[in-house]
């Protein structure tokens, strides 16, 4: 299955690149004003700071160390690892868990719990947005109208949303059931302790008045900034666009980029976004230029500033 994914992705990339005049591609990129591009980078920085704030806020709820700048270092190191691990960012999350343990003195269980809770809160809004985005965009894009594709995507999204809802609504029920289970092996014992720690902290989150709604709105705000950058970028190329469709294109492309084929979701994201922009009747060179610029803003720029921040943090640590 993975080999087939590589093959299909390679064919799609070759077909896309075959259409481009790279001289015109450079011309398309150069038409973006420097100040406008800097503005988009600033929005990305705001997004990263909001994500870090969410980590700190959940850490505070858990009663752990939630120093903003230390947490920023943890997330910077995690972002660096994400660029060399396949789509779903498992490597980045493992790195964050290890650094939470080493740098902020979380226990292994607490570190794993914080990583899991942040992902649960973040992806709760992401999957809901993607469900509506795919439902709308699948009526416009022929490739998404295939029954098999629709069934797989809907099953994937609804299953994940259902799992998250069950974890949040049935917290006490699950905690009682898992507490009564006696682990028979070492690894099941570790999983057992982790689940109890996770569920008890979810209960703390739920019991704080309005906190679960604040977390959801914070996640929603972070995700809304994602397509906002796309809309502003496309506006620099043309005023003839449907902002709703652009938003859907952005989320669907990101979802494809999560498929663990290549490091950082590279290839799948670019191929999907460029293809969907061309479907919007956008010039192929402009579509590819927008994709490359957007990818730089939301991925490579994040890696770059993460390297800089992590380097400064380590240098200051040695100086002390």
- Residue-level pLDDT at 115: 92
Q: Terminus-to-terminus CA distance in the chain, angstroms?
A: 51
Strands (E), the chain: none
Angle between the N-to-C axes of helices 284-295 and 211-235, in degrees from 0 to 180, rounded to the nearest 10: 140
Distance between CA atoms of 293 and 320, rounded to whole angstroms?
A: 39
Q: How confident is the model at residue 100 (pLDDT cuts 50, 70, 90)?
A: very high
User: Which residues partner with 86 through β-bridges?
Assistant: 263
* Cβ–Cβ < 8 Å for 117, 202: yes
Write down the pLDDT at residue 262.
Answer: 54
* Residue in this structure with the two tokens 């014992």, named with its chain if needed: 189
Query: How does the average pLDDT of the chain come out, rounded?
Result: 84
- The pLDDT of residue 50: 96
- Express each pLDDT in 151-199 by its tens digit: 888 898 999 999 999 998 999 888 888 888 888 888 888 888 889 999 9
Phi, psi values for residue 258, rounded to 5°: -75, -15
Mean of the pLDDT values across residues 259-280? 72
For residues 203 and 171, the answer to whether their CB atoms sit within 8 Å is yes
What are the pLDDT digits (tens) for 213-266?
A: 999 999 999 999 999 999 999 999 888 888 988 998 899 888 877 765 555 556
Chain centre to alpha carbon of residue 69: 21
pLDDT at 3: 47
Identify the band that residue 26 occupies on the pLDDT scale cut at 50, 70 and 90. confident
Q: How many CB atoms lie within 10 A of CB 278?
A: 16
């Amino acid at each position: 299955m993975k080999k087939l994914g590589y093959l299909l992705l390679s064919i799609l990339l070759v077909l896309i690149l075959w259409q481009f005049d790279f001289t015109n591609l450079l011309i398309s990129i150069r038409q973006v004003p420097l100040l406008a591009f800097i503005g988009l980078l600033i929005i990305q920085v705001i997004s990263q700071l909001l994500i870090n704030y969410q980590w700190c806020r959940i850490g505070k709820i858990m009663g752990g160390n939630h120093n903003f700048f230390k947490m920023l270092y943890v997330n910077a190191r995690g972002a660096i690892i994400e660029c060399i691990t396949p789509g779903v960012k498992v490597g980045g999350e493992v790195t964050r868990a290890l650094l939470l343990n080493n740098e902020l003195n979380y226990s292994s269980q607490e570190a794993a719990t914080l990583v899991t809770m942040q992902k649960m809160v973040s992806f709760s809004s992401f999957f809901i947005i993607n469900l509506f985005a795919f439902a709308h965009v699948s009526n416009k894009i022929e490739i998404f109208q295939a029954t098999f594709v629709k069934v797989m995507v809907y099953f994937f999204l609804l299953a994940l949303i259902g799992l998250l809802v069950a974890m949040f609504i049935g917290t006490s029920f699950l905690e009682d059931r898992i507490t009564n289970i006696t682990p028979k092996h070492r690894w099941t014992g570790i999983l057992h302790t982790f689940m109890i720690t996770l569920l008890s902290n979810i209960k703390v989150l739920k019991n704080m008045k309005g906190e679960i709604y604040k977390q959801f709105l914070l996640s929603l705000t972070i995700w809304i900034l994602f397509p906002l950058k796309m809309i502003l970028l496309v506006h620099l190329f043309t005023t003839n666009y449907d902002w709703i469709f652009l938003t859907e294109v952005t989320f669907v492309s990101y979802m494809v980029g999560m498929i663990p084929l290549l490091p950082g979701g590279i290839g799948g994201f670019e191929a999907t976004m460029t293809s969907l922009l061309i479907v919007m009747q956008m010039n192929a060179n402009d579509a590819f230029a927008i994709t490359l610029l957007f990818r730089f803003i939301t991925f490579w720029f994040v890696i770059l500033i993460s390297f800089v921040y992590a380097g400064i943090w380590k240098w200051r640590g040695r100086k002390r």
